[in-house]
A and B are shown apart, each in its own frame.
Chain A
Amino acid sequence: MAEFVIDSVPARLAGNTYNLDEDESHIEVDQELARRTGAGKLLERICPAHVYTVEADGTVSVEYAACLECGTCLAMAPDGVLKWHYPRGSFGIMFREG
């Protein structure tokens, strides 16, 4: 029987269902504080959806469309680094299995 193939995280997320809010991100990063606290690297590795990426210039970019809305980043980031709330009603991840 064929071995189960573990795809890349973006490929896995492509199989999920999202209702994307194109007008509004639900995540904001305080870039200055993120740089000072080194939070970018932490966010990059703890987020299971790989929402955060530390760019070459040290800023943290946010692929909010991929967010699975678990809240781990808010719970782990140093205070003030993130403004994070749930997406507006009906937007965001739509689990079909859960």
Chain B
Amino acid sequence: MSQEVDFEVIVIGGGVAGAVCAHTLAQHGREVLLIERGAEPGSKNLSGGVFYCRVMEQVFPGFVDVAPVERRITRNCVSLVNPGSHVTIDYWDKRLAEPVNAVSVLRAKLDAWLLEQCEEAGVTVMPGVRVDSLIVDGGRVVGVRAHEDELRCHVVVAADGVNSFIARQAGIRTKEPMKHLALGVKSVIGLDRTVLEDRFHVRGNEGAAYAMVGDCTQGVAGGGFLYTNDESVSIGVVMRLDDLEKSGLSSSDIHDHLLAHPAIVPLIEGGTLLEYGCHLTIEDGPAMTSHDLTRPGLVIIGDAAGFTLNTGLTIRGMDLAAGSALAAAEAIRRALDAGDFTQAAMDEYRRQLDAGFVGKDMATYSRTPAFLERPRMYTDYGQLAADVFHGVFNHDLTPRRRMLRVGLDALKASRVKLTEVMGDALAGVRAL
């Protein structure tokens, strides 16, 4: 393999996946070019905001102390939201801060830092350039075309996000079924630090994360989220595309409905809108990543490959992006050492994935997306839970009944059947 190349590896996309892959390879002395279409690194990226960041310590020691992260998430709230009530599990645990388990992030800030680290490690970072297509020669990917430039390399890494036009061009992905995808719409709302810390019961650099389901999306499958940043909150909705289509509702109206919801109004009052944005995200990562992820001379990582997991309580993407990038970097390093860029050599990436947490977690949660398709999750259960608690707490001078009776009566009055609850509970135990 003595073919002339401009760089050994070209990475398309400067998000978490692209940056981690490029940085890791550069640290091993490889010549890497990272091409990012945003004029300013980070300016095209947007996430819900929680990063389960332990994996980043492998790449950037002391990550949470040196990277521009917002708050360390020590308080997690999970809410079933109804039009006039909500039932919340509020979990605070100081162990989540030692060591830091998850942080809130703002991607325009974090990704700019990640690309700075890449440059310091020797990566050539080329911002403001859109890659238009792959160069394929004899069935092997040998470079990229960007505007009028052609750049040659041994391996291309597609880290170009959920829409990955590169993975489509390579024939790895086709148009995704709508139920595999969801639309996130988010507002970042500035809040005075003291107000924020008092309102969300956090102090210092600790923060809170809320996951909400039910009326916050007007019953559309998906949910609402709210994450505290340093001096702002990231708040928004995620809506599964198939259900959004069926609902007949407007995506911005659903977002606005959340912000106007009586459960939310007190949390954002006094705030100032800093930014309104949206992003397409992945609902069925296990289905998307189950097919091939490579071609000779090409690997796809992060969202481009489908590495996102909604486990019902946690929504993960960035940690899987980093994990897939590390697996790809290891496979590419071996391929470069051997001078072998065939399909067999690229398939080392899958072996690396399966040996680590990314492949294993994708397998563990493979049944979760189908479980979360059950519409009762987004409508009836929240009201049922509130009805049970209402029966317990509402002392209306009628004779008290045992909790089991209250529960069964609430169930009888709801649209849900006992057999459905039992079926969902069993499926949930198997899927989550």
Contacts and interface: CB of A to CB of B under 8 A. Distances in A.
B245 A48 contact: no
Contact of A95 (B46, B127, B146, B178): B46
Interface string A32-52: 000000000010111111100
B175 A75 contact: yes
Given A6-B260, A15-B275, A71-B162, A48 B252 contact: yes
B392 interface: no
A21 to B, nearest CB: 11
B93 interface: no
Contacts of B45: 95, 98
A94 B40 CA distance: 8
Interface string B141-162: 0000011000000000000001
A22 interface: no
Tier of interface size on chain B: 35 or more
Nearest to B190: A97
Interface string A67-98: 01111101110010000011111111111111
B269 A3 contact: yes
B64 to A, nearest CB: 18
Nearest to A88: B130
Contacts of B124: none
Interface stretch (B54-62, B106-114, B401-409): B106-114
A98 B106 contact: yes
Contact of A48 (B183, B234, B260, B269): B183
Contacts of B271: 4
B163 A74 contact: yes
B251 A47 contact: yes
Interface stretch (B206-214, B277-285, B342-350): B277-285
Nearest to B43: A94
B125 interface: no
A56 interface: no
Contacts of B187: 12
A98 B111 contact: yes
B228 interface: no
B37 A97 contact: no
Interface of B: 37-40, 42-47, 106-111, 127-130, 146-147, 162-163, 165, 175-176, 178, 181, 183, 185, 187-189, 195, 232, 234, 241, 244-245, 248-252, 255-256, 259-260, 265, 268-271, 273-280
- Nearest first, the 7 closest Cβ-Cβ pairs linking A and B are A98-B107, A90-B39, A90-B128, A98-B108, A1-B270, A12-B276, A71-B163
